[in-house]
Structure formats: structure tokens, C-alpha cells
């Protein structure tokens, strides 16, 4: 398709702007803001890739201490995974409800998202406490340092996501659903979905590959 | 872009929300179903001999990539539409960096370890 065709199409039907490829009018703010936030998420992914790399090279350096297979409880990891996955789902439904102007439905889905995220965090923190109590804290070996750094950083992200969710729900209650609040919700949902993607890497590399049959 | 076009799009400055997003409840539900399937498959593969045992790590990596793809398409709504073009380009660059950091580190440290035989033999 030539540029001329796109321009003609855009002139004829102004609602169908060609976006993202330079043709047509400016992109809507929703798309621009989400793109900027997407760049931030990708930079966060690059940071996680360094932590994944550190874990991958240090996983065998147990210094005579406990190995992953001895420490990990895969049943709990499966429950954590399901909590995070379901909270990603309800987060998507919450943003969809907000975009369709159903504040009550948004609040219900947001509450589900929060509870599931908090459950994930609770299981993770109790696992950490359990490991530290068994003498397998972050200072025990290179493997455990890398483990706590990688999984802990993900946990801190989840915790800050939960705090941001409280802040956004307060905004929706106070201001309703104007475009600015909807954009913040969209960015927050990108962040929350991205955390689930990081978790897929964590449970695969750390838990399943550390303890397979 | 001519002046005529500028005039047509005068009120279409960034900030004008002129359409509803195309995502649907159905798309999220399909994504959830596929993601749960991939997750269960990962756990089953890692705990049983369903796969040829030396192939389990490769199988797990393949399942992880499949699930990440499901998340990107159904949850993050990255599609083939014009709104996603720039996001996908940025994602491709991000994946390149992630790939370089992870495989580069593993490769370099593996070389380092294999040159330290006297230490690891003890």
C-alpha cells in the first residue's frame, strides 16, 4: 500500500487513522502512553535478564550447602503460579471493565487481583522464611544468593504492583473513570502481565529445571 | 503531509480517545486456558518420564516460550494491528538484549569453568 492510499483512506474515514507506521494523524494518547510504559517494562526485563544470567551460572555453586532439589516445594510453586496467572486474568478483566465504564465490576475484579497477588506474595515470603530458618539464607552459598536476588526482586515487583493497585483503586473511587485514570490502569495492567511473564521464566528455570525427575 | 491534512486532523492531537480497544473478555479467557495448559504441561513434564529424560530441559524451555507467547498475545494484546507495530519492534530489540545477556553469560562462565579443571577436580 502506498502512502497516498493511506492518506486518502484517512481523509475519507477520519476514524481509521493509520497509526504506528508514520501515516495518518498522531496516535491517540492511550497508544503513546502505553508505548512509553512498554519501553520501561522492556528495560525492566533487561534487568531481570542479568539476574537470570547470574542465577544460571551460579546454580551449581552450592558450596556444600543444600541444593534446589532439597529446598523447593513444587506443590507450593504450582499454587503460586496459579495465583499469579489468575490474578493476571482478573487484572485484564478489571481493565476491560473499566474501559467499558463498569466501575463496580472493575472494583470486584481489582479485589480478586489484589487477593490473588497477596496470596502469591504470602506463600513466597513464608517459603523464604522457612528456607532462612533451615540455614539456607542468601549468605549460605552462591546459588542461594542468586536465588534470593532473582526471586526476591520479582517478589518486590509484585509487592509494588499491589501498592500501585491500591493507589489506582483509590483514584477510581475518588475520580471515577476519566481517560487519565484509564491510561494509568492500562499501564498498571501491562506491568502486572509482564510480572507474570517473568514468573514463567522463574518457575521454569529456577524451580522446574532445578528439580526435575 | 500537506496543510489540508493538518486541517483535517486539527482536533486529533494526542489525547483524543476515538476508539474503544479491541480486547474482549473472550480473548483473556482463551489466554488463561492456554496458559494453564502450558503451566500444567511444564509441571507434568518435569515430574514424570513422559519426555525422554535428557530432553526435559529443552521441553521445559519450549513450553516456557509457548506460554510467554500466549501471555504476549492474549494478555498484553500484542497483535498484528498498526497500534502494536512499534511495541513489537521494541520487544524484538528487548529480546535480543535479553538473549545476549543470558546466553553470553552462560557461555563465558562455562568456558571459564572448563579452564579451571584443577579446582573442580579436588
The per-residue pLDDT for range A186-196, each reduced to its tens digit, is 999 999 999 99
Of how many residues is chain A composed? 213
Of how many residues is chain B composed? 122
pTM of the model: 0.85
pLDDT (mean) for B46-68: 91
Residue A11 has pLDDT above 70, yes or no: no
Best B13, B24, B28, B30 member to test A by mutation, with max A CBs in 10 Å, is: B28
How far is residue B52 from each of residues A213, B6, B48, B49, measured CA to CA in Å? 11, 63, 10, 6
- Alpha-carbon gap, residue A210 to A134, rounded angstroms: 19
pLDDT (mean) for B73-93: 88
> What CATH code is assigned to A28-208?
1.20.120.80
Residue among A30, A106, A94, A107 nearest B75 (CA): A94
- Alpha-carbon gap, residue A140 to B6, rounded angstroms: 65
pLDDT (mean) for B46-52: 87
- Alpha-carbon gap, residue A209 to A204, rounded angstroms: 6
**pLDDT reported for residue A203:** 94
When CB atoms are compared, the residue of A42, A81, A88 closest to B75 is A88
Is A100 in Cβ contact with B36 (below 8 Å)? no
Read off the pLDDT band of B122 (50, 70, 90). Answer: very low
Contact criterion met (CB below 8 Å) for A99 and A182: yes
Residue A75 has pLDDT above 90, yes or no: yes
Contact criterion met (CB below 8 Å) for A74 and B43: yes
Q: How large a percentage of chain A has pLDDT more than 90?
A: 76
pLDDT (mean) for A139-153: 95
Q: Sketch the domain layout of chain A as residue ranges.
A: 28-208
User: B-chain residues within 8 Å CB-CB of A184?
Assistant: none
Q: How large a percentage of chain A has pLDDT more than 70?
A: 87
User: A-chain residues within 8 Å CB-CB of B114?
Assistant: none
Is B23 in Cβ contact with A57 (below 8 Å)? no
**pLDDT reported for residue A145:** 95
How far is residue A17 from each of residues A22, A25, A180, B19, B121, measured CA to CA in Å? 10, 6, 22, 11, 66
B87, three cell numbers: 511495541
Which range among A71-80, A99-108, B77-86 shows the weakest confidence by mean pLDDT? B77-86
Max CA pair span of chain A = 72
DSSP helix/strand/coil, A205:
helix
pLDDT (mean) for B17-40: 82
Chain B contact present for A16, CB below 8 A? no
pLDDT (mean) for A112-127: 97
Residue appearing with cell numbers 497516498: A4
Is A19 in Cβ contact with B82 (below 8 Å)? yes
Residue A14 has pLDDT above 50, yes or no: no
Is A81 in Cβ contact with B93 (below 8 Å)? no
Best A1, A18, A28, A101 member to test B by mutation, with max B CBs in 10 Å, is: A28
Read off the pLDDT band of B1 (50, 70, 90). Answer: very low
Residue A7 has pLDDT above 80, yes or no: no
When CB atoms are compared, the residue of A7, A35, A99 closest to B86 is A35
- Give the A:B interface size as CB pairs under 8 Å: 167
Q: How large a percentage of chain B has pLDDT more than 90?
A: 52
Residue B9 has pLDDT above 50, yes or no: no
Is A92 in Cβ contact with B48 (below 8 Å)? no
User: A-chain residues within 8 Å CB-CB of B18?
Assistant: 15, 28
Q: What is the ipTM for the molecules in this complex?
A: 0.84
Comparing A126 with A2, the larger pLDDT belongs to A126
Amino acid at each position: 500500500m502506498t502512502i497516498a492510499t493511506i492518506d486518502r483512506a484517512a481523509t475519507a474515514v477520519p476514524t481509521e487513522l493509520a497509526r504506528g507506521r508514520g501515516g495518518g494523524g498522531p496516535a491517540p494518547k492511550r497508544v503513546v502512553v502505553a508505548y512509553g510504559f512498554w519501553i520501561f517494562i522492556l528495560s525492566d526485563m533487561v534487568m531481570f535478564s542479568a539476574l537470570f544470567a547470574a542465577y544460571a551460572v551460579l546454580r551449581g555453586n552450592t558450596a556444600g550447602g543444600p541444593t534446589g532439589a532439597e529446598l523447593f516445594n513444587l506443590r507450593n510453586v504450582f499454587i503460586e503460579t496459579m495465583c499469579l496467572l489468575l490474578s493476571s486474568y482478573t487484572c485484564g478483566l478489571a481493565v476491560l471493565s473499566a474501559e467499558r465504564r463498569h466501575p463496580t465490576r472493575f472494583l470486584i475484579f481489582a479485589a480478586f487481583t489484589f487477593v490473588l497477588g497477596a496470596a502469591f506474595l504470602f506463600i513466597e515470603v513464608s517459603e523464604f522464611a522457612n528456607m532462612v530458618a533451615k540455614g539456607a539464607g542468601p549468605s549460605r552459598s552462591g546459588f542461594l544468593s542468586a536465588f534470593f536476588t532473582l526471586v526476591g526482586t520479582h517478589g518486590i515487583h509484585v509487592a509494588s504492583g499491589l501498592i500501585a493497585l491500591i493507589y489506582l483503586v483509590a483514584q477510581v473511587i475518588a475520580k471515577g473513570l476519566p481517560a487519565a485514570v484509564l491510561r494509568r490502569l492500562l499501564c498498571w495492567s501491562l506491568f502486572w502481565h509482564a510480572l507474570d511473564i517473568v514468573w514463567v521464566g522463574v518457575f521454569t528455570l529456577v524451580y522446574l529445571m532445578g528439580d526435575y525427575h | 503531509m500537506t496543510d489540508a491534512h493538518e486541517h483535517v486532523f486539527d482536533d486529533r492531537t494526542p489525547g483524543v480517545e476515538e476508539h474503544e480497544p479491541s480486547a474482549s473478555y473472550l480473548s483473556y479467557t482463551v489466554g488463561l486456558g492456554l496458559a494453564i495448559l502450558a503451566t500444567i504441561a511444564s509441571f507434568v513434564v518435569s515430574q514424570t518420564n513422559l519426555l525422554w529424560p535428557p530432553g526435559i530441559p529443552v521441553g521445559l524451555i519450549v513450553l516456557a516460550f509457548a506460554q510467554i507467547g500466549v501471555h504476549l498475545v492474549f494478555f498484553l494484546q500484542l497483535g498484528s494491528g498498526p497500534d502494536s507495530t512499534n511495541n513489537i519492534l521494541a520487544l524484538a530489540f528487548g529480546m535480543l538484549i535479553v538473549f545476549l545477556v543470558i546466553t553470553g553469560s552462560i557461555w563465558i562462565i562455562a568456558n571459564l569453568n572448563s579452564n579451571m579443571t584443577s579446582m573442580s577436580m579436588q
